[in-house]
């Protein structure tokens, strides 16, 4: 066994002995050809779909939203930020990445005959205090952010979306989870609400 194989073996041993650990182990062993096949299923790479009719709730005509929601009342809400990531990239990087992931999931579920819905992303987020004054970063207070998430949830619930998944790509997971809890305590509306920080799942 060479050095690289030994290193990979030691990584494999760190996965949990449960279904999640087994999935991680399986993904760890995937080769590049298999990864390419998986990406093809999701049509990755693809251009962004924000302006493409029928891809987001906000760019789909009302009759179609109602009809597709009857078949699948899941809505995916991408949550990013506007943040200085350095001179080599754009301040919308977090948002762009999470919208592309959401769009890939929509394409895949559409092929399966039960397309999920995507809501327009939350493009401004909360930041740690040391980001104060950082050019290109737009900071939102914790309370304003949580209130925004709560109102988005209420509006989507009122529109019939009883299964809401927030897909987070920024260090604000705690605030999203607090907002979901506040929403549930405030309105006491039945539904399935999930906040996923995709890089850590």
CATH of the domain at 73: 3.40.50.10310
Count of CB atoms situated within 10 Å of the CB of 136: 13
Two structure tokens written together for 4: 């690289």
Measured CA to CA, the distance from residue 23 to residue 12 in angstroms comes to 11
Give the sign of the dihedral formed by CA 37, CA 39, CA 45, CA 50: positive
Judge whether 139 and 132 are in contact, CB under 8 Å: yes
User: What pLDDT does residue 55 have?
Assistant: 94
Is 59 among the domain residues? yes
Strand order in the sheet with 163-168: 117-118, 74-79, 163-168, 192-197
Is 12 among the domain residues? no
User: What pLDDT does residue 198 have?
Assistant: 80
Q: How many domains are contained in the chain?
A: 1
Q: What is the pTM of this model?
A: 0.83
User: What pLDDT does residue 24 have?
Assistant: 79
Is 39 among the domain residues? no
Is 95 among the domain residues? yes
Two structure tokens written together for 195: 């906040």
Is 61 among the domain residues? yes
Two structure tokens written together for 107: 């394409």
Is 40 among the domain residues? no
- The three-state secondary structure class of 29 is coil
Two structure tokens written together for 154: 């209420």
Residuewise pLDDT in 10s, the chain (201 residues): 677 777 666 655 677 888 888 887 888 888 999 999 989 999 999 999 998 999 999 999 999 999 999 999 999 999 999 999 999 999 999 999 999 999 999 999 999 999 999 999 999 999 999 888 999 999 999 999 999 999 999 999 999 999 999 999 998 999 999 999 999 999 999 999 999 998 775
CA-only gyration radius of the chain, Å: 19
Measured CA to CA, the distance from residue 153 to residue 16 in angstroms comes to 34
Instruction: Give the residue carrying structure tokens 């062993």.
Output: 29
Is 41 among the domain residues? no
Is 183 among the domain residues? yes
User: What pLDDT does residue 13 have?
Assistant: 62
User: What pLDDT does residue 107 have?
Assistant: 95
Measured CA to CA, the distance from residue 67 to residue 69 in angstroms comes to 5
User: What pLDDT does residue 10 have?
Assistant: 65
Work out the end-to-end distance of the chain between its first and last CA atoms, rounded to an integer number of angstroms.
Answer: 30
Domain that holds residue 149: 48-200
């Amino acid at each position: 066994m060479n050095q690289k194989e030994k290193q990979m073996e030691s990584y494999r041993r760190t996965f949990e002995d449960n279904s999640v650990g087994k999935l991680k182990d399986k993904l760890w062993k995937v080769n590049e050809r298999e990864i390419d096949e998986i990406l093809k299923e999701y049509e990755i790479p693809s251009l962004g779909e924000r302006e493409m009719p029928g891809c987001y709730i906000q760019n789909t005509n009302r009759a179609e939203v109602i009809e597709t929601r009857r078949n699948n009342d899941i809505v995916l809400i991408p949550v990013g930020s506007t943040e200085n990531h350095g001179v080599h990239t754009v301040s919308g990087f977090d948002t762009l990445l999470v919208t592309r992931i959401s769009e890939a999931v929509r394409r895949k579920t559409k092929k399966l005959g039960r397309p999920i819905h995507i809501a327009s992303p939350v493009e401004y987020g909360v930041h740690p205090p040391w980001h104060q004054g950082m050019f290109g970063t737009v900071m939102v207070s914790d309370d304003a952010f949580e209130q925004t998430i709560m109102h988005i949830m209420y509006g989507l619930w009122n529109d019939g979306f009883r299964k809401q998944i927030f897909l987070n790509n920024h260090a604000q997971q705690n605030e999203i989870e607090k907002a979901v809890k506040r929403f549930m305590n405030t309105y006491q509306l039945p539904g399935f609400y999930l906040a996923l920080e995709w890089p850590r799942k």
